[in-house]
């Protein structure tokens, strides 16, 4: 007798709401938080590329990717800390959270679908563990409670949505693509669904054209480092 295995043929993955028109992107970022803009989010991505380009032949094989991620995280958190966002960690995972605690951002590397309005949504490139699974589940619970969950959270202060600044370095095209997206499902160490994707474009890796704006505040940045116990 031939044995076969039934598969969930009717299982469908809900595609994310995609925002990629420049005017709509700016509008949506402002709704999330008035301190967010496409130009601000471009700066850490540029800094990440600069870090990637600083490695040499003598560097470790993974140095380019590591330096890109480290620089992206540091510049994102520095810029937003100057606007009173809160720097904190959970099990060494670095977050930056808005003053009203409605939005938090974490930096992740994504697969080749990152930054594209294609046939599939992206996923995280590196496998994630309990921290990511935890905040994705919370995002999903908020979304189930109300599809307009962000407005609910903002009005009633009942939770924090964690968004991912997701980027992918495309070696073939020599560019980095990136987006700010809301993960809502997680399975086998991967994000499998997104509630919303704000696609922010791509930056060619041309070091001679790099000119990261000087966004230093007029007053010294007071970094509000949160205790490591508890996520938000």
The C-alpha atoms of residue 45 and residue 34 are separated, in whole angstroms, by 20
**pLDDT confidence of residue 168:** 98
Which secondary structure element, helix H or strand E, spans residue 32, and what is its range?
helix 22-32
Q: Within a 10 A sphere around the Cβ of 39, how many other Cβ atoms?
A: 11
* DSSP assignment of 58-103: TS-TTHHHHHHHHHHHHHHHHHHHTTT-EEEEETTEEEEE-TTSSE
Whether 128 and 169 have beta carbons less than 8 Å apart is answered as no
* Domain coordinates in residue numbering, the chain: 17-206
Q: Within a 10 A sphere around the Cβ of 140, how many other Cβ atoms?
A: 18
Residue 125 CB partners (closer than 8 Å, separation 6+): 108, 109, 110, 111, 168
**Tens-digit pLDDT profile for the chain (232 aa)?**
444 444 444 456 778 999 999 999 999 999 999 999 999 999 999 999 999 999 999 999 999 999 999 999 999 999 999 999 999 999 999 999 999 999 999 999 999 999 999 889 999 999 999 999 999 999 998 887 755 545 555 555 468 999 999 999 999 999 999 999 999 999 999 999 999 999 999 999 987 655 544 444 444 444 455 544 455 6
Which secondary structure element, helix H or strand E, spans residue 140, and what is its range?
helix 130-145
The C-alpha atoms of residue 109 and residue 104 are separated, in whole angstroms, by 17
Give how far the C-alpha of residue 7 lies from the chain's centroid of Cα atoms, to the nearest Å: 32
């Amino acid at each position: 007798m031939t044995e076969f295995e039934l598969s969930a043929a009717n299982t469908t993955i809900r595609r994310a709401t995609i925002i990629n028109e420049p005017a709509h992107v700016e509008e949506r970022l402002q709704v999330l938080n008035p301190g967010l803009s496409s130009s601000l989010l471009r700066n850490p991505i540029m800094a990440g590329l600069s870090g990637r380009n600083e490695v040499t032949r003598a560097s470790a094989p993974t140095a380019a990717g590591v330096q890109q991620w480290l620089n992206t995280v540091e510049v994102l958190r520095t810029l937003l800390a100057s606007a009173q966002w809160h720097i904190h960690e959970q099990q060494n995972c670095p977050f930056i959270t808005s003053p009203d605690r409605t939005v938090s951002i974490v930096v992740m590397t994504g697969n080749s679908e990152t930054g594209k309005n294609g046939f599939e949504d992206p996923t995280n490139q590196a496998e994630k563990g309990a921290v990511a699974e935890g905040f994705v589940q919370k995002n999903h619970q908020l979304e189930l409670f109300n599809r307009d969950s962000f407005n609910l959270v903002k009005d009633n202060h009942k939770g924090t949505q964690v968004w991912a600044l997701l980027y992918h370095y495309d070696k073939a095209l020599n560019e980095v693509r990136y987006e700010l997206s809301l993960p809502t499902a997680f399975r086998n160490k991967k994000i499998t669904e997104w509630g919303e994707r704000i696609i922010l474009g791509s930056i060619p890796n041309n070091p001679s054209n790099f000119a990261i704006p000087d966004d230093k505040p007029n007053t010294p940045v007071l970094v509000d480092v949160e205790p490591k116990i508890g996520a938000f």
